[in-house]
Chains A and B, each alone.
Chain A
Amino acid sequence: MRLPPLVARVRVRTPRHALRLWLPLFLVWALLAVLLLPLLLVLRIAALVVPRWSLLALVRGGCAVLGEARGTRVLVERPGAEIFVSLS
């Protein structure tokens, strides 16, 4: 399984402002892992109530989507303005 994106680069440029952000997503994942543990427990109970749900498959699928999102780039430009997001 691949690691989720560890860093996000965001660039926002408007006629008045320019902003460059380097976001350490690895910190976010670490924080979320702690915060989501109670939610996982709730989901586990929900999966017992609704047997069609496969919790493990859902969690695996979610992690896989996050992992494969690495390399995504979106650039939107118009005269004088630009938004760029890159996950790596």
Chain B
Amino acid sequence: MTEERLRILNLLAEGKIDAKEAAGLLDALGGAAPGGASAQPAAASPRYLRVLVEGYEGDQAGKVNVRVPLDLVRTGVRLAALLPPGVQEQINQALQRNGVELDVSKLRAENLEELVEHLGELTVDVDGARGEKVRVFCE
């Protein structure tokens, strides 16, 4: 509790000011949080998807650093809904051939919002045996 607040409460306890005056004085001190620290702003929703890769090609080390706006991902998903059903089927088959079990026709922007919301709290770290690193997170 700040010194000013304590002084106001002491004045109230001593009867030098009434409760109404004390409340006014406390209001005048502003919205400072107890302890003098200002209130922390609410955590902003993530705006970018970051992918950091450190790896080796032969003996040479390499790095990839990608920053993609999450809005672009959202828009891409909405655009996927415009694909004709035949094309969606072909994409699904191609994904399955590569080991990805995903039905493009079931992608919805609402689901993505939920995913993005949770991605903000998630960091994927993969460390390889040779020092390769992959890090995926939102910021």
The residues of B that contact A53 with a CB separation of less than 8 Å are 84
Question: Which residues of B come within 8 Å of A, CB atoms?
Answer: 47-48, 57, 60-69, 71-72, 74-76, 78-79, 82, 84
Q: Quick check: A70 and B62 within 8 Å, CB to CB?
A: no
Q: Check if B57 sits within 8 Å of A78, measured CB to CB.
A: yes
In the assembled complex, the CB of A41 is this many whole angstroms from the nearest CB of chain B, namely 20
Q: How many inter-chain contacts with C-beta < 8 Å in the A-B complex? A: 60
The majority secondary structure among interface residues of chain A is mixed
Can you name 27 A-B pairs with beta carbons within 8 Å?
A53-B84, A54-B82, A57-B82, A61-B75, A61-B78, A64-B75, A65-B75, A65-B76, A65-B79, A67-B75, A68-B69, A68-B72, A68-B74, A68-B75, A70-B69, A71-B48, A71-B69, A73-B65, A73-B66, A73-B67, A74-B64, A74-B65, A74-B66, A75-B64, A75-B65, A77-B64, A79-B61
Docked CA distance A17–B78 (Å): 41
